Amino acid sequence: MKNLIFLITILLTQVSFAQEEEVKNYKWDEVPKFKEIPVEFTTYPAVVLKDYRLYENKVGGYAYKAFIVKHQAIKILSETGISEYNKVAINNRYIRDYRDLRVRVIKPDGKIEELPKERIIEKQGTNEKQFAFEGVEKGDIIEYYYVIKDYPDFSGSEYFQRDIPVLDAKFQINKIGQAQTYTAAYNGMINQSIDKIKIYTATNIPAYKIERNATNMANLAKVYYFINTSKVYNYISYYNSLYNFANGINAKSMIKSFVENLKLNDPTITTDEKIKIMDIFLKENMEIDKQYNYKKVIETKKMTSNMVLYFYTDVLDYLKIKYHFVASTDKFDDKFDKENAVPEALSEILIYIPETKKYLVPFQFWMPYGQPSALSVNNDAVYFNQDDRQQVTYEFKKIENVLMDENVTKSTSYITIGDDMETVLVDKKSTYTGYLASYFRYVIKHVSQEKINDFVKNNTFNDIDAEVQKYSFENKEYKNNYDSEKPFTISSSIKVKESWIENAGKNNLITIGKVLGKQTSLHQETSRTNPIVLSYPKKNINYINLNIPSGYSIKNVDNLVFNKEIKNANNDIIGLFKSTAQIEGNTVKIAVEEFYNFTYLEKEKYNEYRDLVNALYDFNNASLILTKNN
């Protein structure tokens, strides 16, 4: 028995020694040992052998300080790796004291060359230190660590995944006596916490590669940390902070007169209508600006973003309209975590009205009441039921998908070719509903006159070299966000400045699909690491009319006929690019329908997605032959 206890003690001691790092008196191994580099990582210019970031906060009594360690070792595998990693500047904190800073180069034969202290540069009048590794050659390991004394940092995030592989990553932070330290880690960071020390480690983290339409940042290995005085920090704690924040200032008389002036207490008006009236008033009369006095927002017509939240909740409370706070992440930046409430990751704060099943988005001034924020569509979220303030409950739900048919861009183009068979003129009318419409309505109020032509060109002809000859907007007033019959409309006339006309003897060709604007090609992007993620479902419809120049005829309209689909497991079409073309009199009439009725597609479906995107590119580059009549 004695032996057993002894053995357990030894094992535990070893485990904790193996995991917990001394921070204040951190030292590197005088004879360094690193993990072997796997063969698949040897093609990178460098590999991170060690990346340790350790925090020790000391708060209480007379202490208010932190010790911080950063220890990094990188193996240089190519000449380009040297210039990329041979310089270090420590300048991102209010450093009170450097307890230790050591820098060395380890040669392939194991010889260690430590940088003398006097070669570390101290910037005058600052706490910054800088150094460059000396004598570095391909095959060397460059290594440094520092221990600094600083003020405690109570919240933050650390990303460990980089554009080169990382073999050994460690994050460590202690718990302090007066508050709890909370952490959450993702994408391969393993929790190895012991008692009062939170530890996360990871080995062999692959290098990341940024992909289009992917949740790149959300997929990286990282750790969040923050402290809170609650003994347990959960979603109720999060709710309490949010509630207290939203109800911090009393402005009852302002709210009362606002409600009365707009007759929002009229019982014959529906909840939907009341919220709409409130929102339209705010967006048409207020400006986001400095404002120190919440009670004066109506009078001064200025409010801060936070005050939009106060105002929404105050009016809803006053009118006794039930609402739920909803919190989610920007799905491209962070995965929603049901286990841990991480305030820094919960960037999408919404107000959900259960009666109408619609949302208010207080921190996006351009968003009308209705759809959730674009970055949270179809993302997991927490919904707080606060009907009983004493007994708030919550549930995790996906924020509903928005309707594709409410996010539609519809364009009709009339193309005329000049008598010179070179000049191409286009009249285009584009109508927008949903997110784009709301965003455009907001943006055009802030675009200067000198940039307005570019706005028109970029949004209706996507990067085409063209001269905007005239333009007009319709239904640009904010209130039209609530009227589906009045989509935001851009009408423009342009003269194309790039070459759409080709020659073939006495005949000509026109690459008519260019009227859609430049399109992406995925022909070269054959492999995929991440699933495809889109912000929200959307549909684009294009009607293209080409006036056939007199003396010419067109025969190959079939060249513009495309049909690519993406189907789900139920065989429903969830993605489509379909074009039809026909000749009516002296006009070529083309109808194009493109939609993405999904926000998430497994990477196994990438080829179907790629084919669809490529079909759009091919349509964009397809041409019609204008045959000169004899």
Partner 1 sequence: MIKKLQSLFSFFFLVFFSGNAQSTKQNSYIAEKQNSYNITVKNNSPSIILSSAEKRWVGDKNDKSILGNRINYVDSFEKVFDIEAYSISPSNKKHKIGYIGTGDREIGDIFVHDIKFKYYNFLNIEDGSQTYSFYKKEYHKPQFLESYYFKDYLDCKSSKIILKVSKDVEIGYVIQGNTNNEKIEFAKETNGDFTIYSWHMVNMEKEEKESSSPNFSYYSPHLIFYIKSYKNNSGIQNVVGTIDNLYSFYAQTIKDINKQDQTQVKEKTTELTVGLTKDSDKAKAIFDYVQSKINYVAFEEGMGGYIPREAASVLQKKYGDCKDMANLLNEMLHYAGIESNLAWIGTRHNNYTYENVPSPIVDNHMITVARINNQDLFLDATGRYSSFPNVTPFIQGKEALTKIDDLKYKIISVPVIPSDQNKTNGKLKIKFNSNSLIGQANFNLSGFFKTQFISAYRATTDKSETLKGYFSRFIQNIQTSNVDTKNDDLSQTPLEIQYQFELDKWIKETDNQLLFKPILFFPYSDARINIEKRKTPLENDFKKSYNFEYEFVIPEGYTVDFLPENFNLINDFFTASITYKKVNNSIIIIQEMSMNTLLIEKNNFEMWNTAIRNITKQYNQNIILIKK
Q: Which is nearer to partner 1, 286 or 349 (CB)?
A: 286
Which part of the chain contacts partner 1 (CB under 8 A), choosing from 188-196, 348-356, 427-435, 505-513? 505-513
Tell me the closest approach of the beta carbon of residue 241 to partner 1, in angstroms: 30
**Burial 197-219, CB ≥16 within 10 A → b, else e:** bbbbbbebbbebeebebbbbbbb
Sort residue 265 into left (φ over 0), alpha (ψ -120 to 50) or beta.
alpha
According to CB under 8 A, which one of 92, 124, 391, 570 is a site residue for partner 1? Answer: 124
Tell me the closest approach of the beta carbon of residue 422 to partner 1, in angstroms: 8
Tell me the closest approach of the beta carbon of residue 446 to partner 1, in angstroms: 5
Q: Which is nearer to partner 1, 122 or 387 (CB)?
A: 122
Helices and strands: H and E segment counts in the chain: 10, 35
Nearest-angstrom CA–CA distance, 429 and 492 = 6
> 371 phi and psi, to 5 degrees?
-80, 155
570 contacts partner 1 (rule: CB under 8 A): no
**How many residues are there in the chain?**
630
According to CB under 8 A, which one of 86, 409, 489, 530 is a site residue for partner 1? Answer: 86
209 contacts partner 1 (rule: CB under 8 A): yes
Give the Å distances, CA to CA, from 628 to 31, 504, 507, 552.
82, 10, 5, 4
According to CB under 8 A, which one of 83, 240, 265, 472 is a site residue for partner 1? Answer: 83
Number of amino acids touching partner 1 (CB under 8 A): 59
According to CB under 8 A, which one of 37, 132, 561, 583 is a site residue for partner 1? Answer: 132
According to CB under 8 A, which one of 7, 121, 194, 591 is a site residue for partner 1? Answer: 121
Nearest-angstrom CA–CA distance, 119 and 343 = 42
Binding to partner 1 (CB under 8 A) within 29-68 occurs at 43-45
According to CB under 8 A, which one of 47, 408, 509, 534 is a site residue for partner 1? Answer: 509
326 by DSSP, 3-state: which?
A: strand
Q: Which is nearer to partner 1, 124 or 391 (CB)?
A: 124
> Which residues fall within 8 angstroms of residue 332, CB to CB, at 6 or more apart?
215, 216, 217, 218, 375, 533
DSSP 408-442: EEEEEEEEEE-TTS--EEEEEEEEE-THHHHHHHH
122 contacts partner 1 (rule: CB under 8 A): no
521 contacts partner 1 (rule: CB under 8 A): yes
What is the token pair recorded at 601?
Answer: 């597609």
338 contacts partner 1 (rule: CB under 8 A): no
Biggest CA-to-CA distance, the chain: 108
What would the x/- binding string for partner 1 be over residues 532 to 561, using CB under 8 A? -----------------------xx--x--
According to CB under 8 A, which one of 134, 168, 273, 317 is a site residue for partner 1? Answer: 134
Q: Which is nearer to partner 1, 328 or 614 (CB)?
A: 614
Contact assessment for residue 401 and residue 599, using Cβ atoms and an 8 Å cutoff: yes
According to CB under 8 A, which one of 117, 263, 523, 567 is a site residue for partner 1? Answer: 523
164 contacts partner 1 (rule: CB under 8 A): yes
Contact assessment for residue 345 and residue 355, using Cβ atoms and an 8 Å cutoff: no
Q: Which is nearer to partner 1, 369 or 617 (CB)?
A: 617
125 contacts partner 1 (rule: CB under 8 A): yes
Beta strand extents in 77-179 (DSSP E only): 87-90, 97-106, 112-114, 121-122, 129-132, 141-150, 155-159, 166-174
Binding to partner 1 (CB under 8 A) within 425-484 occurs at 445-449, 451, 465, 467
Q: Work out the angle at residue 538's Cα, subtended by the Cα atoms of residues 536 and 541, and round it to the nearest 5 degrees.
A: 170
498 contacts partner 1 (rule: CB under 8 A): yes
What H or E segment, with its residue span, contains residue 610? helix 606-621
- CA end-to-end span of the chain, whole Å? 108
DSSP letter, residue 103: E
Tell me the closest approach of the beta carbon of residue 93 to partner 1, in angstroms: 15
301 contacts partner 1 (rule: CB under 8 A): no
Which part of the chain contacts partner 1 (CB under 8 A), choosing from 146-154, 326-334, 520-528, 571-579? 520-528
Nearest-angstrom CA–CA distance, 481 and 434 = 8
421 contacts partner 1 (rule: CB under 8 A): no
Helix 305-318 crosses helix 252-261 at what angle (to 10 degrees)?
A: 70
According to CB under 8 A, which one of 48, 303, 408, 501 is a site residue for partner 1? Answer: 501
Give the Å distances, CA to CA, from 82 to 61, 105, 162, 199, 511.
46, 12, 16, 31, 48
Which part of the chain contacts partner 1 (CB under 8 A), choosing from 225-233, 303-311, 344-352, 502-510? 502-510
Which part of the chain contacts partner 1 (CB under 8 A), choosing from 86-94, 145-153, 355-363, 381-389? 86-94
130 contacts partner 1 (rule: CB under 8 A): yes
Q: Which is nearer to partner 1, 229 or 526 (CB)?
A: 526
Contact assessment for residue 533 and residue 605, using Cβ atoms and an 8 Å cutoff: no
What H or E segment, with its residue span, contains residue 627? strand 624-628
CA 618 to chain centre: 29
117 contacts partner 1 (rule: CB under 8 A): no
216 contacts partner 1 (rule: CB under 8 A): no
Which residues would be at the binding site for partner 1 (CB under 8 A)?
A: 43-45, 78-80, 82-83, 86-87, 89, 121, 123-126, 130, 132, 134-137, 163-164, 207, 209, 422, 445-449, 451, 465, 467, 497-499, 501-505, 507, 509, 521, 523-525, 555-556, 559, 614, 617-618, 621-623, 625
